Amino acid sequence: MAAGYESTIRRVLDIPEIVELIFSFLDKKDNVNNACVCKRWSGIALDSVWRSVDDTTQLLRLLAPLDTRYNAFTRTLNAEDWRRFERYARRVRKLSYSVDRNDSPYLGARVFDEIARSRTTLNILPNLTSLEWFSDETRHAVVFMGQNVRCFSVFLHKSLEYPLSNSFKDISTRMPSLTHLDLAFDFPVHEIEADLITLIGELSQLKQLTLPAYGFTSRVVEALSLLPSLETIQFEFWDRQGRGDPGDVAVFSPNLRKGAFPVLWDLNLSVHLHDMTRFVMNPHAPASLTSLYVHLPSSVPPATVSEYLTAVGENCKLLTKLYMDLFVPPLPEGQPPQPVHAEYLSWGDLRPVLLCKRLKVFELTWPFPIHLTQEDVEELALSWPSLEILQLSCLPNPIIPLAPPVLTLRALIPFAAHCPDLEDLGLDVNTHAADLEFAPHDAPPQPFRKLARLRFGLSSITEPGPTALFLSQLCPLGCEIWPGPPVPDGFNIVIPQWTLELLDLWAEVGRVLPLLIRARMQERTRRKELESEVEDLRMRCKVLEERGRLPEGTLNADGSCLVL
């Protein structure tokens, strides 16, 4: 033990990095108490308390008390208030403000006006790097904007007093070093397209842009193609993100120049598939893509799907993740869902995906089950040993009963045998008990090595017992059964009453499966021990037989051989 320390624990707790790590696992209330322990801990604990602020009123109370309705400070701010506030302000790295005008209490305009009037420095949070602002008073976010902000998320509201064009100018002028920009709004993007393009051109360090669905028009993508550091283009379907107008992407044909998207690796778009095929085949299309997601706002024939996958395989050589979804986003409350009139897909339509030699993730969401046979599955698994995630479960919208698929649970066997890295698998299967028995002469199937999730969607099931017994021969311990349709993030699809019994049966499979897997593991261990004993006995018998064939007089009294 080093001199000067009473114990090893005291020595360890004198290392600031270790103390900071410990404090990171505690809640704010505990760290407030830690700040009072000693001077050495005080700064570390206060950093943990104020690093991420999601209660703006709590932060502003450090300046002066707020009135009961938070409409204003109870007194005028002075220089001494700001000097005291500085001790905490420099610790804030992330600020999140999410409030609606109907919420109570509600920070009033007079609070922010007083801050803007009395502040002693331009950046009241000098080390702020992430700012989230979800309020109908967008202009109030200006007082927190600063040169060091790298990530900015905001819900845009139209206002005559503070036009969005002015808001965009504030963003580019006050936060010129932005690398991540997330814009949420609930109106068509064409209404702000010109101002948005201007904003994009002024953010030269931008690495990621997030917009609502249908927000990436041809002109917006053209502007993004010129950014030297852009890595990710994505959209979200969350209600909070807003939803655009599908008409804005009815025609998607950006004019790309040489050198477009120099470092783009993650592309997510909601466009028609024939437009996406043409985009991928463009000689100036992004060449460094490793992840590609496309949402189809309308159904397409199988031939178009095949053409798209062929184009991707021939032009996106570095691709490791490929996603394709066909579903219509839910309509506003009160309007009936619109059925998707799509055609069935077969393995022949999807086979071009094998051209993507580096692909590890493939997820397809379609309204109907994919027509696959056992031979198709065996071809897929043999041709794709690097596969890590495969999702082919269907998502009917609205959810209706479908004809049982051709595949049975035996479709899992080729994946277990030929895809050692598979972690997540989703298939529509038909669990007939008659097909769940192995013949006595069949070799035990190769179990999955890394499988963590099995997704069966709305697959039919009659008896959970035989199904669980079959799966226990293939699944590793810890593998989870995920029933239900593969609903994308941000959607709340109504689950009909008739599916509840189906989901309960699959849930029962998930409950008993771990016990059966443990029993299988013990069975395999005993089998290996028996096989080892049998092999030892076989060798002993062979030795005895060889000794019996030796002539008399060639063995010593102890049974060893004489050397002649």
In this structure, which amino acid lies at residue 456? F
Cβ-Cβ contacts under 8 Å for 175 (sequence gap 6 or more): 131, 145, 146, 147, 149, 152
DSSP state of 190: G
In this structure, which amino acid lies at residue 380? L
Do 231 and 205 meet the contact criterion of CB atoms below 8 Å apart? Answer: no
Cα separations (Å) of 393 from 427, 474, 486, 508?
A: 5, 19, 7, 20
Tokens of 117: 């009037």
Tokens of 180: 């991540």
Helix residue ranges, H only, 35-175: 39-50, 56-60, 79-89, 109-118, 164-174
**Burial of 559: CB neighbours in 10 Å, binned 0-12, 13-18, 19+:** exposed
**Burial of 526: CB neighbours in 10 Å, binned 0-12, 13-18, 19+:** exposed
Do 286 and 267 meet the contact criterion of CB atoms below 8 Å apart? Answer: yes
- Cβ of 541: how many Cβ atoms within 10 Å? 10
Cβ-Cβ contacts under 8 Å for 384 (sequence gap 6 or more): 354, 359, 418, 419
Helices and strands (H, E) in the chain, number of each type? 17, 17
Give φ, ψ of 241 to 5 degrees: -75, -20
Q: At what angle do helices 164-174 and 193-202 cross, to 10 degrees?
A: 10
Give the 3-state secondary structure of residue 481. strand
**Burial of 276: CB neighbours in 10 Å, binned 0-12, 13-18, 19+:** buried
59: left (phi over 0), alpha (psi -120 to 50) or beta: alpha
In this structure, which amino acid lies at residue 385? P
Gap between the Cα atoms of 56 and 529, Å rounded: 64
What pLDDT does 441 receive?
A: 58
CA atoms lying within 13 Å on the CB side of residue 151: 10
Do 203 and 178 meet the contact criterion of CB atoms below 8 Å apart? Answer: yes
Give φ, ψ of 347 to 5 degrees: -65, -30
- Cβ of 161: how many Cβ atoms within 10 Å? 7
Give tens-digit pLDDT for 105-131. 667 888 899 999 999 898 999 999 999
Gap between the Cα atoms of 347 and 538, Å rounded: 49
DSSP state of 497: T
What pLDDT does 495 receive?
A: 74
Mean pLDDT (the chain) is: 85
**Burial of 122: CB neighbours in 10 Å, binned 0-12, 13-18, 19+:** exposed
Give the 3-state secondary structure of residue 555. strand
Cα separations (Å) of 93 from 43, 47, 52, 209, 350?
A: 15, 9, 6, 21, 46
Gap between the Cα atoms of 309 and 345, Å rounded: 13
pLDDT tens string, the chain, 564 residues long: the values are: 455 666 666 676 667 666 667 667 766 776 666 666 676 767 677 777 788 898 888 898 889 988 877 678 888 999 999 999 998 899 999 999 988 656 656 678 888 999 999 998 989 999 999 999 998 888 999 999 999 999 999 999 888 888 999 999 999 999 999 999 999 998 999 999 999 999 999 999 999 999 998 999 999 999 999 999 999 999 988 878 888 888 999 999 999 999 999 999 999 999 999 999 999 999 999 999 999 999 998 889 999 999 999 999 999 999 999 999 887 665 555 555 555 677 889 999 999 999 999 999 999 988 888 999 999 999 999 999 999 999 998 877 667 777 788 889 999 999 999 999 999 999 999 887 556 666 555 677 889 999 999 999 888 888 888 899 999 999 999 999 988 877 777 666 777 777 888 889 999 999 999 999 888 888 778 878 888 888 888 888 887 777 777 676 665 555 555 444
Name the residue ranges covered by the structural domains of the chain: 1-50
Cα separations (Å) of 221 from 211, 232, 271?
A: 12, 12, 12
CA atoms lying within 13 Å on the CB side of residue 559: 5
Gap between the Cα atoms of 523 and 513, Å rounded: 15
Gap between the Cα atoms of 124 and 174, Å rounded: 13
Cβ-Cβ contacts under 8 Å for 62 (sequence gap 6 or more): 84, 85, 88
HEC string for 10-52 = HHHCCCHHHHHHHHCCCCHHHHHHHCCCCHHHHHHHHHHHHCE
Q: Which of 406, 425, 312, 305 is nearest to 359 (CA)?
A: 312
Do 398 and 339 meet the contact criterion of CB atoms below 8 Å apart? Answer: yes
466: left (phi over 0), alpha (psi -120 to 50) or beta: alpha
- Cβ of 562: how many Cβ atoms within 10 Å? 9
Beta pairing class for 480-483 and 424-426: unpaired
Per DSSP, the residues of 232-261 read EEEEE--GGG-B--GGGGSS----PPTT-S
Gap between the Cα atoms of 181 and 229, Å rounded: 13
